[in-house]
Amino acid sequence: MKELKIARIVTVPIAFVHIKAFLRFLKSKNAEVVLVSSKGKYEEVVKNELDMEITPIEISREINILKDIKSLWDLIIFFRKNKFDIIHSSTPKAGLLVAIAGIFSPKSIRIHTFTGQRWATLGGVFRSFLKFLDKIIINLNSQCYADSSSQINFLKAEGVVKNTEVKCLHKGSYGGIDCQRFNNDHFPNARKDIISELQLSDDSIILLFVGRVTSDKGIEELVKSFILAQQINEKLKLIIIGPFEPELDSVDPEILNSIHSNPLIFQLGFRADPEKYFSGADIFCLPSYREGFGTVVLEAAACELLTIGSRIPGLVDAIVENETGVLVELKNINQLKDAILELASNKEKRKRLSANAKKRARADFDSNFLAQIQWDEYMRLLKKDS
């Protein structure tokens, strides 16, 4: 078989970080892999860890007619020049522009992977418009995937897809997890280190959030629930890891004030070693409004840490209820509080759910295992097209 020429295209470079194992796998198969995205701060991570350059084509995350037309033209020229065997997009804006530009590259297999719907938490005309754009992506691609089965069910219920238009590979996730990196066996002193770093008492029960600190990640409900729960169980502490993104999704000022002023809440910003915190915490919390799958749940699980999450598409695949974690109704502060208190008071249950979580994460979501499945899917599509 001739050397494959494959383009992977996203809106911002961080999306490549989640598929590093698959990109390495493609290189091991002697495929020529071309990465395309806007410029961004994770460019150097991709370059250093994968020894791969990113071809810069500016793709705005928000709707901007003039910029979008320019991006579309650049993609059309780029596809016509390179004649890829496979063009594979993910992230919403890249997906739309690549789908349209792909019309001018009819001999390429054109693929898109949905990793959640931005419109899931919206209403009105804008929601309908964004749903329509997803339909365009589906109709213009050779094959579309979603990173969870429940996401597909959601898209069907919303009338965006029909029965066979979108597939989920294996049990889901965008690129799986690096089980070598996310392994609590590497961090036997993690809890002691965290207690020392933050000057906590030895009997603290550590809640952890890792992700963008935005309202759609449920940070407001988490802080409110924590404050209520801490009034009942004084051992509770909350660690928040991740960047604020006020330009995209601001957090209520009162909640921000609580995060910064409450001595029992520790906002640590970005950390390059979240695996250490997963390995030392007692409960991971992700009361998110929308997820494609919730890869961070698997990262926590691989470090033997259970999750309390929202009962939403994506997270119902990432968390097996009462087996690897606990699900609560979306935006339900009292349910979240009660789940925190129940797990905080039941060490044996925490231990059991966390052990189950680690076993499942390593068995079903190792990134190398999923890379082979994605490669087999590429081969299927190429054979079908030949």
What CA–CA distance (Å, rounded) separates 328 from 312?
9
The class level of CATH for 184-364 reads: alpha beta
Give DSSP secondary structure letters for 173-242: -SS-B-TTTS-GGG-TTHHHHHHHHHT--TT-EEEEEES-BSGGGTHHHHHHHHHHHHHH-TTEEEEEES
Q: How is the chain split into domains, by residue range?
A: 5-176+366-385, 184-364
Q: What is the pTM of this model?
A: 0.92
Is 3.30.70.1380 the CATH classification of the domain at 5-176+366-385? no
* DSSP bridge pairs for 36: 9, 55
Q: What angle, 0 to 180 degrees and rounded to 10, lies between the N-to-C axes of helices 295-302 and 347-364?
A: 110
Whether 5-176+366-385 and 184-364 share one fold: the answer is yes
pLDDT by residue, tens only, the chain of 386 residues? 568 999 999 999 989 988 999 999 999 999 999 999 999 878 888 888 888 999 999 999 888 999 999 999 999 999 999 999 999 999 999 999 999 999 999 999 999 999 999 899 899 999 999 999 999 999 999 999 999 999 999 999 999 998 778 999 999 999 999 999 999 999 999 999 999 999 999 999 999 999 999 999 999 999 999 999 999 999 999 999 998 877 666 789 999 999 999 999 999 999 989 999 999 999 999 999 999 999 999 999 999 999 999 999 999 999 999 999 999 999 999 999 999 999 999 999 999 999 999 999 999 999 999 999 999 999 999 998 77
Paired tokens of 380: 């299927």
Among all chains, which residue has been given the structure tokens 């084509």? 57
